[in-house]
Amino acid sequence: MSNAFTASAAACAAALMLHACAALAADEVNVGPGRIAMHGYDPVTYFDPGKPARGWESLSAGHAGALYLFSTRDNLRKFIRAPEKYVPAYGGWCSYGVRVGRKLDTDPNAWRISGGKLYLQLDLGTQKIWDKDRLKNIEIADRLWPSIASTPANLLER
C-alpha cells in the first residue's frame, strides 16, 4: 500500500469519526434547523415575565452547540451573563421523556419552572402527568439524564 493511499484512508477515517462524534454530541441539546434551540423561543421570557415569547434571529447567542434566540437585547445580555440560569433542563428535551429514558421534542407552551430551572414538556397533556409528582419526576430524570445525554434520540426509541 502506498503512503499516499494510507494517509488518505487515515484522513477519511478521522473525518468519519469526527462526523460521527459530532452527530452523537449534537443530540445532547434538542435543536431544529439551523441548530436553533427551543423552537426559536426566548428562554429568558419563561422566567421574566413568565410567559414564552418567540425570539429573533438577529438577537441570538450560541451555547453548548445550540443557537438561542431572544426577543429583546436585554434578554440576550442576561443570557450571555448567565446561560446556565436560562437553558432548559436535559438539553431542552421533554422532561417527562427523560424520566422514562427517552428524548422527545417539546411544545414551547408546555413548561414549568421548578427550583429555578426550566423544564419543557412534549405537550400540555404530558405536562399534567409531570405535574402530578413533579419533584419525584425531576429526581428520576436527574438520575437518568447522564446515562442518555449523549445517546442519539433515535436510539432511545422503543
pLDDT tens, residue by residue, 94-136: 999 999 999 999 999 999 999 999 999 999 999 999 999 999 9
Q: Which pTM value belongs to this model?
A: 0.83
- How far is the first Cα of the chain from the last one, in angstroms, to the nearest whole number? 44
The amino acid present at 152, given as its one-letter code, is P
pLDDT given at position 96: 98
What is the sign, positive or negative, of the torsion defined by CA atoms of 52, 58, 62, 65? Answer: positive
Distance CA 74, CA 91 (A): 23
| Residue 78: half-sphere exposure toward Cβ, Cα within 13 Å | 17
Residue 80's CB: how many other CB atoms inside 10 A? 12
pLDDT given at position 158: 63
- The full set of domain ranges for the chain reads 1-29+88-158, 31-86
